Structure 1
């Protein structure tokens, strides 16, 4: 299972503000302190391993730098887990850079993906392709669709923003008992828009932590 609190000191220095990550910094997770969803990145190796994202760092475009993720609930044969899984309406993925902001230290959202259907339990770079582009790449939320069959949060018009130096990236997968109300979101939703959307709807979560350093070729 992927570590729930990757805070070991590495050459990156301080453990970082793990407690401020989306899955830690909200009362929505008070009944879900520990992860119950296993998240793997088969092309990159174990969670938290230094350099594991470098396996895909020779990609020709930023979108290709997104690792393939796959997830499933632990103990799926357990009756309680099966009942929980039947309640899933969608998945939400929040990708945060633990070393994204230094003053004050705070995670930075570099990817937000929502209305992921419950039958979809994998995501890869091939999913993160826009179906429509707008002026200056600023697409309104109603039209912010990806070929993977879900939507993306606004990151200055980008689908995701891989870091440009060695950082710890938390890929957080959440199962929700209701769908995110796209109609209630602002036209350009940011990470703060989703705290209210998951209130009372979290059924479980898990994460995979990648140590990423962009390589030049």
Structure 2
């Protein structure tokens, strides 16, 4: 009976796909983008007078301002994952724990701004991988990651919300912030119901330092012109296919490019040699 009930429940990945599909539909009717710069955690009272002594890196993406690679977006075959993050701390003496946040500064709706909040990260850690933030299974404490870190749920009750800006919006900026704290563990009276607001309040007076890395991602609709060009190539490619040659245009028409270094996937234009979205990098702080 338990097995039948489990089969009737949609998988977490299925729920994520339904949610992402809804966001794309919403994006088609709301072409505006909200600017959430004033709501980012660095502007909260906890960071007043606190200087940055931490350098945060996205090792598998690039320098600050880089465009997120395909594997970090919902276009990835596995649904996307957190970039590999690492940091150096110039002032680690009194650090008792770290916290990591990801915020979408251009989220259309406020509850979509939080893409991940992880806390009680051990002070000896200097990196975070996608596996670290997977949800822990087989425990009575649902808000623990695979590495026993605590987390605040994102929209859809996920540990980490993979970037997927709605169609017809401007490029979104994703800010990853690492925070050093002078206490461990960070405790809450309701650890399984902690909110973003409660987390912000809890770290007041406990922040030692911080560091940031900013990435960006354009919605699929920003590549409509490229997609139309790919369709034209597909028509021309049918003729050469009879000679045994598969063109990039045919492949993109089938949702997959098999020749050349570029192709259209899910409406987004990727450079396959780099596995990243094409576009101009954003300047730091923009």
Q: TM-score under structure 1 normalisation?
A: 0.73
Which residue number in structure 1 is paired with residue 37 of structure 2? 18
CA distance in 1 between counterparts of 2:164 and 2:34 reads 19
CA distance in 2 between counterparts of 1:16 and 1:181 reads 30
Instruction: Give the SS at the match of 1:40.
Output: strand
Which residue number in structure 2 is paired with residue 152 of structure 1? 151
Greater Rg by CA = 2
CA distance in 2 between counterparts of 1:169 and 1:185 reads 28
Relative to its length, the structure with more strand (as a share) is: 1
Instruction: Give the SS at the match of 1:193.
Output: helix
- Deviation string 1:76-134 (CA, Å, 9 cap, x unpaired) is 4xxxx3xxx121111011111111136xx898111010110001110011112222268
CA drift of 1:187 comes to 2.8
1:27 to 45, 52, 55: 45
CA drift of 1:200 comes to 0.5
Change in 2 beyond 3 A, CA 1:164/1:179: same
What pairs with 1:171-182 in structure 2 (closer than 5 Å)? 171-182=176-187
2:201 to 184, 196, 204: 196
Q: Are 2:87 and 1:71 aligned?
A: yes
Are the aligned partners of 1:68 and 1:123 in contact in 2 as well (CA < 8 Å)? yes
CA distance in 2 between counterparts of 1:160 and 1:168 reads 16
- Deviation string 1:164-199 (CA, Å, 9 cap, x unpaired) is 224211011100001253342453212111112101
CA distance in 2 between counterparts of 1:13 and 1:47 reads 25
Please list every run of 5 or more consecutive structure 2 residues that lacks an aligned counterpart in the other structure. Answer: 1-30, 166-170, 220-264, 269-286
Q: TM-score under structure 2 normalisation?
A: 0.57
Q: CA RMSD in A?
A: 2.8
What pairs with 1:1-217 in structure 2 (closer than 5 Å)? 16-24=35-43, 26-32=44-50, 34-49=51-66, 51-54=67-70, 56-57=72-73, 59-62=76-79, 64-73=80-89, 76=90, 81=91, 85-101=92-108, 108-132=113-137, 142-155=141-154, 156-165=156-165, 166-185=171-190, 187-213=192-218, 216=266
